[in-house]
Amino acid sequence: MSSSSACFVTQEATKEILLRVTNVCGECYDDLGLGDTVHYDMQNYRFLCDCCQKKLCSMMNEECEIIYDEAEPSLFC
């Protein structure tokens, strides 16, 4: 578990989240399904799929700031 994990709240996608908040990842726009693991990005106020959360987490420092790498500019899975 990365120290950047403190930047996210991880939970299971419920019917309420999917109907009232979002049913797509806030980064790649992939569909989120009932029971999927979703991560709330507390810095950007959005839900992310597992893949995007892991990529974003690997790019963050301890203060939840994104450190961009010019060699890999995209977060898309």
What is the pLDDT, as a whole number, of residue 62?
86
pLDDT for 37 equals: 95
Q: What DSSP assignment string belongs to 15-70?
A: HHIIIII-SB-TTT-PBP-TT-EEEEETTTTEEE-HHHHHHHHHTB-TTS-B---T
Which is higher by pLDDT, 1 or 64?
A: 64
Query: 12-18 long-range CB contacts below 8 Å, 24 or more apart?
Result: 12/36, 12/37, 12/38, 13/37, 13/38, 17/47
Confidence band of 3 (pLDDT split at 50, 70, 90): very low
Q: What are the pLDDT digits (tens) for 12-68?
A: 999 999 999 999 999 999 999 999 999 999 989 999 999 999 999 888 888 888 887
